[in-house]
Structure formats: structure tokens, C-alpha cells
Amino acid sequence: MPSSSPIRHAVVLAHPDPSSFNAAIAHAYCEAVEAAGQQVILRDLYAMNFDPVLKAHERPGRSDFRLSPDVQAELALLCGANVVTFVFPVWFGMPPAILVGYIDRVLGAGTTVGQVRHGAGRGLLDNGHLCAITTSGASEDWLQAQGQTQALRDLAGTYLFRAFAMQSTEAVHIGNVVEGAPANFFQDNLARVRQRAASICARVAEELHGTPLPPQLGDGS
């Protein structure tokens, strides 16, 4: 039976500059979600001054296991999210440390190694949808030649997708993000982000509410 609950997106931005292209991407995604009539909450990790360091007592399986107050508050805020979208730059072939810490402390809160191995994680990502939108100064061809593109997909997509038994995962990468790039480069890629967000919104609406996909979004482009 289709659900009548509102569809909720959580957009997690991991870039220290509020005027960065990554920030523009996050806001473009949020605007597209709202235009589709769905709910969205933006979590700007640097603006929040999020503490990425996992505490000893936050490791599941310990006799003194407990979640810290900031993690509890974050989980309550994002409870019921159907889609989690990461927006971050690729630094040295990896996501920023602040995002890795967010995954450790919040998205995987209380999840044991055994649950991950058996695809039985029960965190915020459980049975939901994941999207990773990444940027780099290098071209995508160069990243692929270094093996970094697949590594990022495995880390931010496939691994979390399988560990939490998610419904879907997808990745968007925008390369050649450098100062002096023409304005239309940024405008075209923001339009690409809005289109992808609209596609995700349509797909989740069809899944949860039985709303047919618009013909132009049926291929998930």
C-alpha cells in the first residue's frame, strides 16, 4: 500500500567555504527537492562545527556504549529521511575527514561489524536511497586512470548501499572544477544536479506514493 508520509531528503554538505561550488550544488539540490513538493534538510557540517571524532563509548558492543548528545540530536533531526545525499570535494582521493566522521558517528551509529557484514545495518540509511555528488579539480578521465573514481563509488556508494540494505545508490561526479572556469560550466552542471534531484524525487515518489514517473525522467537521466 502506498505511503502517505511526506518524502524527506537529508543533504549533507562537506566543504569549508560557504561560497564554494559545492555549496551551490547543495542549494540547487535542495531547491529541486522543494520544487517537487518534497521535504529537505541541509546539514552543512563545517557551518555546524561538527565534531568528526568517534568517541570510545560510541563504539557498539562495549559495555559502556552510549551515543553522545550531539549524535542523538542529529539522529532525531534526520529521523525518517528517505534519501541521503552527500555533497563533497575529492581531496587526495578521499572525502573530507569531517564527512567520514559523520558517517562513523551519525549514519552508522550503533551499527556493529556483524550487521555490516550481513547487510543488516539499522542506521539512517536503512532501506533508503543514497546519492553522492562529488567534485574535483582534476578531470574524470584522470581520476579514472588513477583508480579514484571507482574507489569513491565503492566507498560512498556500493559499500554503504550493501551494508545498510538500501534501495538504490547513485553517484554524480563533476570534474575540472577550477577557478576561471567559464560561467556556463557551472550553470550547466547546476542544471545537471537539479535534473538528477528531480529524477530521484520522481523515483522515490513512485516507490512510496505510487506516483507515475514523468516520461522525461523514466530513464533516470
List residues bridging with 91 in a β-sheet.
Answer: 94
Nine-digit cell string for 30: 535542495
Residue 94 near residue 149 (C-beta atoms within 8 A): no
The per-residue pLDDT of the chain, averaged, comes to 83
pLDDT surpasses 90 at 14 = yes
Q: What backbone torsions phi and psi does residue 39 show, to the nearest 5 degrees?
A: -95, 145
Mean pLDDT of 47-64: 93
Distance, in Å, from the CA atom of 126 to the CA atom of 68, rounded to the nearest integer, reads 21
Banded model confidence at residue 219, pLDDT cuts 50, 70, 90: very low
**Structural domains of the chain, with CATH:** 8-195 (3.40.50.360)
Q: Encode pLDDT of 78-116 as tens digits.
A: 988 999 999 999 887 778 999 999 988 998 887 766 666
**Total residue count of the chain as it appears in this document:** 221
Q: What is the pTM of this model?
A: 0.84
pLDDT score at 127: 67
Q: Encode pLDDT of 144-156 as tens digits.
A: 666 666 666 555 5
Distance, in Å, from the CA atom of 207 to the CA atom of 221, rounded to the nearest integer, reads 17
Residue 88 near residue 94 (C-beta atoms within 8 A): no
* Other Cβ atoms closer than 10 A to 64: 8
